Amino acid sequence: MGKRPRILVAGILDTKGAELRFLAERVRAAGGEPTIMELTVGGEVGWADIGVSELARRVGKTPSDLVALERAKAAAHVAEGGRQVALELLEKGELDGMIAFGGSMGSSIAAAIMQALPIGIPKVLLSTMTSGDVRPYVGTKDIAMLYPIAEVGLNKVTRRVLNNGAAAVVGMALAPALEVTEEKPLIGCMMFGVTTPCVLRASKYFEDRGYDVMVNHAVGSGGRSMEELITDGYIVGMLDITTHEIGDELFGGVLSAGPDRLTAAGRKGIPQVVSVGGLDLINFGARETLPKKYEDELGLPGRAIYVHNPTVTAVGVTMEEAHRLGQEVGTKLNVATGPTALCIPLRGWGAVDLAVADKALGWAGPQPGPVWIADPDHPEWTMRARPFTGGLLETIDLGKPNLDVLLVDRHMNEPEFADLMAELLEEMLAGRWQKGSHHDDPRAVALERVVPTALVSA
């Protein structure tokens, strides 16, 4: 057997010391070498391998200072000190994984430390908060959360669960090394259920041409993770097909990726081809959680309910919201320093924004998609395209040579639309793309056909 993996075991020891000691013992029994880190925000217990005094010292404090502070502020100091120590251990080759046990306070401190560790380092968080909203604890990292049943106490139930957690983190740390494979350039792509056909086809286009494709789920955490991957230099080009996280941020939906969504690629200067996948929807939880405001607006054009599954309910965006979305997307794309094209499918923005049921496009029907609303002048086009494009042209700087907009007479999930987006990005990656190069494509529609000429020339 090779060297025993070194596992950082963390928690608040003045209230859960017995449980953390047991957890460390089980790490050792599973084949690991535990190091206990104290995350206590009160007085120091004195027996940890890394006491809270060391964490406090890293941020210029003492345990007494922490006791005198409001608990939230003290916790922030402990977390920052813990991050510094954990990263130092990692750099020295003395950290192969981390496990923590806690309630709400201990979980939040431990999670903040885990979120500082690189993807691929095993991270197991035994937390009583696991049965609720875990987004604040997982963040954008590969943190495995396990519900420990009880917050304190060692008994025949909790010992088994803690033992399992210890075995899990040691097992992860002892995972066999991956076979060396050719590293391919990585394309980023965002997907949601309503854009799956488009994403899968565009992804295969690049996989067939020697790329790997990172497809993130556009549920808030997925968008934040993608922005982080771009910033860290993993992504060479972005197929940002699904952008509804922006609408959830603007209009109070539950799948927001925060205010920085759709900005990292622009700042980084990598090629990006962007679309409006899912921007016809604002997402909420179970049907009964839909805010009354949206119930009261069901008579507005575009406002309709779509129950995706028992835990996801969406409403269609109104024309006013579509206009606001256009303004927001234009503002975000203006920061782009690399080749950037926005493709707007005129026949619908996702599987439930569809004039005629078509199972291949994601909606079996028999009626039109639940949030579909036709343009009165062009019944085959979604009515949202006009206000969105109008809002977009109010903010986007089309004088920039690296920034282009294409209106496409296709539905989001039609193969021709996916192919067009993929072709554009491939040209950008090869250095062949020029603004306007696809304006004469038979799939393209002139801006003037959708919005007033004055806006186009503004």
Q: What is the pLDDT of residues 204-238, one digit of tens each?
A: 999 999 999 999 999 998 999 999 999 999 999 99
What integer pLDDT is reported at residue 2 of this predicted model?
64
Tokens encoding 212: 């790997």
SS3 call for 444: strand
Of 87, 92, 96, nearest to 116 by C-alpha is 87
Rounded Cα gap, residues 72 and 100, in angstroms: 19
Rounded Cα gap, residues 250 and 324, in angstroms: 9
Q: Following DSSP, what letter does each residue of 360-421 receive, concatenated?
A: GGTB--SSPPTT--B-SSSTTSBTTHHHHHHHHHHH--TTSTTEEEEEESS-TTSHHHHHHH
What integer pLDDT is reported at residue 443 of this predicted model?
86
Phi-psi region at 410: left, alpha or beta (left = phi > 0; alpha = psi -120 to 50) = beta
What integer pLDDT is reported at residue 64 of this predicted model?
87
Residues of the chain with pLDDT under 70: 1-2, 453-458
Q: Following DSSP, what letter does each residue of 190-236 receive, concatenated?
A: EE-GGGHHHHHHHHHHHHTTT-EEEEEE-SSHHHHHHHHHHHTT--S
DSSP state of 182: P
Report CA dihedral (422, 425, 427, 433) to the nearest 10 degrees.
130
Distances (CA, A) of 110 to 37, 125, 148, 165: 10, 8, 15, 15
- Residue 252 near residue 284, CB atoms below 8 Å: no
Q: State if pTM tops 0.75.
A: yes
Residues 6+ apart with CB under 8 A from 363: 351, 352, 354, 357, 369
- Domain 186-457 is in which class? alpha beta
Q: Where are the domain boundaries for CATH 3.40.50.12030 in the chain?
A: 186-457
What integer pLDDT is reported at residue 85 of this predicted model?
97
Q: Is 177 exposed, middle or buried (0-12, 13-18, 19+ CB in 10 A)?
A: exposed
Element (H, E) at 242: strand 237-242
Rounded Cα gap, residues 355 and 379, in angstroms: 8
Phi-psi region at 93: left, alpha or beta (left = phi > 0; alpha = psi -120 to 50) = left
Rounded Cα gap, residues 305 and 18, in angstroms: 51
Residues 6+ apart with CB under 8 A from 232: none
Q: Where are the domain boundaries for CATH 3.40.50.12020 in the chain?
A: 6-173
Tokens encoding 299: 């008579």
DSSP state of 302: T
**Cis peptide preceding 185, ω within 30 of 0:** no
Identify the architecture of domain 6-173 in CATH: 3-Layer(aba) Sandwich (3.40)
